[in-house]
Amino acid sequence: MMKTTLILIFTILFFTSCNEVVEYEQSLSDEELYPNYVKAIKNESTFQNFLVVKVKNLNNGEIREYCTKGNFLKGALHRELNLGYSKDGIIKVYKTAIENKERYFEFKNDSAIWNISAFDKYSMKELSEFENQIGIDSLIYRIENGKDWGITISNDKEMKMVAHSLFNKGILTGENSCFGGMLTLDKSE
């Protein structure tokens, strides 16, 4: 039911703006995405930003992108580096995250990997198919042209796929961790 509702909403968004659809690049460079990544890392509020990182699982050699919140990435680094939450541990994790301009990490610790991937149960092929299904370029067009946008998505997988797609196109989104469920544009400067 929720999937049908989500598809209907995106279909409506697509048809309301399809006469001005622009094809967007597949994804932006690491350099172009880095400012949004840093903003997500620095964010300490209950409104957490989504970011996308590339992770190599050292246990099986798999390398893939994950969409997660900035605080979840920092938590994964705490686990992987075996650092507590002392002032020194927090500073080391923060610096490790911020200094990683390529957004590439290698994790061996299963709990670190789980920390960023617990709700990320989709493949890159599924993500691509989802982008086509919802008309991601039309959604981006609406956002970039000042159309107000926010959507309640109770399915974590679908929320992460939308956030993942938008992040890779240079659009920072987030979710209020206190209330949850509403994927919203980050309009703060």
Does 104 score more than 60 pLDDT?
Answer: yes
Question: Phi first, then psi: what are they for 7, rounded to 5°?
Answer: -60, -40
Percent of the chain past pLDDT 90, that is, above it, reads: 53
Residue 156 exposed, middle or buried by CB count within 10 Å (0-12, 13-18, 19+): middle
Rounded to whole angstroms, how far apart are CA atoms 30 and 33?
5
Residue 130, token pair as written in the block: 């989802």
pLDDT at 161: 93
- What pLDDT, in 10s, does the model give residues 143-172? 888 776 667 777 888 889 999 999 999 999
Average the pLDDT over 75-99 and give the result: 96
What pTM, to 2 d.p., does this model score?
Answer: 0.80
φ, ψ dihedrals at 106, nearest 5° = -120, 125
CB atoms within 10 A of CB 103: 18
Q: How far apart are CA 136 and CA 132, in angstroms?
A: 7
- Residue 181's pLDDT is what? 63
Greater model confidence, 25 or 163: 163
